[in-house]
């Protein structure tokens, strides 16, 4: 229980999910905080008044948008995720409230997941597992990884970690970002993330990059620009032997278009960790379509990840209380941390 002498210190509200943050006593007993209150999404509107700081531990909750009129004292919101598409609603964007995310926690685990997906596709592990269950000995030839071309959609920290992981296996790694450019330290080339024939500055776009890619990895934040980017045209620009891997957000991919592309053999496979609606419905075609590999939004979740999230929040909290610059400040107009 907080002692009375904390009354003039900032009030922290924690929007919890199913579980409390691990070791939450480090938050509860923090000497720099006043009242620490845990709330659910349903209770948020009644708990939010008088709150100075908000920790969004309910990772994908959209409750803050509807409760926003009650945020009469809020100064800082910290998200226990990298993606903040659920928090960049108009009221938040137009306010002076600082928004930070958990960049730095998930990049390497997600890169390892992508590397694993590429190897599993190339070495036909999925078929080997099926044949093992059937007790069938069937020799096959598999594909090389070295020398193949990858296209990473998104040049932020996750995309760059993915690019470095793929390059370490000898792949030729290209990317798409907000603008076309050369001389990038992590990618052979960067084109504009657009399906226009030429980019805004006249540079190359996905139209020229997709046809040569053996693996296309979606690692961009969900914004107005990227929502629905991977549509029927995008998928038809990929070669029939290419695979799509999505570790970003489900709505970047038009799911019905992807289902059609897999069913028609327009692409060879898809490694999917995120979906329009989660959990993925039991009757979704993606469970059984040829080449479809489904995982339950876990690409960045390794042992100890929740503890790492708490450590990062406490580091930023110390910075906030000391008046120092915060880590991972989101450009709310863009929807991600720039730079």
Domain ranges of the chain: 4-105+303-322, 107-294
Which are the contacts of 338, defined by CB distance < 8 A and separation ≥ 6? 331
The reply to whether domains 4-105+303-322 and 107-294 share a CATH topology is: yes
Question: What stretches in the chain show pLDDT beneath 50?
Answer: 1-5
pLDDT of residue 6: 54
Rounded CA gap, 55 and 37, in Å?
Answer: 10
In 3-state terms, what secondary structure has residue 177?
strand
Superfamily of 107-294 according to CATH: NAD(P)-binding Rossmann-like Domain (3.40.50.720)
pLDDT of residue 3: 40
What global pTM score does this model have?
Answer: 0.95
pLDDT of residue 2: 39
Alpha carbon of 118 to those of 63, 114, 188, 332: distances in Å? 36, 6, 19, 33
Cα 167 → chain centroid: 21
Residue burial 277-315, b: 16+ Cβ < 10 Å; e: rest:
eeebeeebebeebebbbeeebebbbeeebbebbbebbee
- Own/partner pairs for 326-331, CB < 8 Å, 24+ apart? 326/76, 326/98, 326/100, 327/100, 327/103, 327/104, 328/100, 328/101, 328/102, 328/103, 328/104, 329/98, 329/99, 329/100, 330/84, 330/88, 330/99, 330/100, 330/101
Residue pLDDT, tens place only, 249-288: 999 999 999 999 999 999 999 999 999 999 999 999 999 9
Residues annotated as part of the active site: 249, 278, 297
Superfamily of 4-105+303-322 according to CATH: NAD(P)-binding Rossmann-like Domain (3.40.50.720)
Neighbour tally for 252: CB within 10 Å: 25
Rounded CA gap, 241 and 273, in Å?
Answer: 20
pLDDT of residue 8: 85
């Amino acid at each position: 229980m907080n002692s009375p002498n904390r009354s003039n210190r900032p009030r922290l509200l924690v929007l919890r999910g199913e579980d409390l943050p691990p070791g939450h006593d480090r938050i509860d007993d923090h000497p720099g905080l006043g009242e620490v209150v845990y709330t659910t999404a349903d209770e948020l509107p009644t708990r939010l008044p008088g709150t100075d700081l908000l920790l969004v531990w309910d990772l994908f909750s959209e409750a803050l948008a509807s409760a926003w009129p009650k945020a009469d004292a809020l100064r800082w919101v910290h998200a226990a995720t990298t993606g903040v598409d659920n928090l960049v609603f108009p009221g938040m964007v137009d306010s002076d409230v600082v928004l930070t995310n958990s960049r730095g926690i998930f990049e390497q685990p997600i890169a390892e997941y992508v590397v694993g997906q590429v190897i599993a596709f190339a070495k036909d592990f999925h078929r080997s597992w099926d044949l093992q269950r059937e007790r069938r000995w069937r020799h096959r030839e598999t594909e090389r990884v070295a020398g193949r071309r990858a296209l990473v959609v998104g040049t932020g920290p996750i995309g760059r970690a993915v690019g470095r992981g793929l390059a370490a296996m000898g792949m030729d790694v290209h990317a798409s970002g907000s603008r076309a450019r050369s001389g990038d330290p992590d990618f052979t080339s960067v084109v504009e993330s657009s399906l226009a024939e030429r980019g805004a500055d006249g540079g190359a776009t996905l139209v020229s990059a997709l046809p040569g890619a053996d693996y296309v990895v979606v690692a961009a934040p969900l914004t107005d620009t990227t929502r629905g980017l991977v549509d029927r045209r995008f998928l038809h620009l990929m070669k029939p032997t290419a695979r799509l891997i999505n570790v970003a957000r489900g709505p970047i991919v038009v799911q019905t278009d992807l289902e059609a592309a897999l069913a028609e053999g327009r692409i060879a496979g898809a490694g999917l960790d995120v979906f329009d609606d989660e959990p993925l419905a039991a009757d979704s075609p993606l469970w059984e379509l040829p080449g479809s590999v489904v995982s339950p939004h876990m690409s960045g979740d390794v042992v100890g990840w929740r503890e790492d999230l708490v450590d990062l929040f406490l580091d930023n909290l110390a910075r906030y209380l000391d008046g120092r610059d915060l880590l991972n400040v989101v450009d709310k107009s863009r929807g991600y941390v720039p730079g």
